[in-house]
Amino acid sequence: MSETYYVKTFGGLEITNDNVTVNIVELFGKQLVNLLQVLLFHSEKPVQKDELIDILWPESKNPSSALKFSIFRLRSELNEIDFFKDKDTFNKLGYKAKINTHTT
């Protein structure tokens, strides 16, 4: 049985697991918060690279590099949060947060 994470998106971004709440906005920069929000919003299916680029980096000169670097940073930052530590939170078929969420 997989764990369930509760996600609050109004007034910021908070993720709760086992009565521990982490305020993501306080920990991550704006770009990582935006990336995580998109992945959580589309948690039922992988988000293709081109779709993420269109949403997050429409004007970038090198959007593929920006995406790869942001995914690397997001994985690293999530690994610093105790309840995500040592978990592979992303699917390789497109980008998908493999986190069972309940949005409030």
Annotated domain spans of the chain: 4-103
* Nearest alpha carbon to residue 25 among 35, 39, 14: 14
**For residue 2, how many other CB atoms are within 10 A of its CB?**
7
Structure confidence at residue 87 (pLDDT): 67
Contact 7, 14 (CB under 8 A): yes
Give the separation between CA 54 and CA 4, rounded to whole angstroms: 29
Contact 7, 104 (CB under 8 A): yes
Task: Classify residue 2 by its DSSP letter.
Answer: -
Contact 9, 3 (CB under 8 A): no
Q: Residues with Cβ < 8 Å from 4, sequence gap 6 or more?
A: 17, 100, 101, 102
- State pTM to two decimals: 0.82
- pLDDT tens, position by position, for the chain (104 residues)? 467 888 898 888 999 988 889 999 999 999 999 999 998 888 788 899 999 999 999 999 999 999 999 999 998 998 888 877 766 666 666 777 666 655 55
Give, in words, the CATH class of 4-103. mainly alpha
Name the phi and psi angles at 36, rounded to 5.
Answer: -65, -40
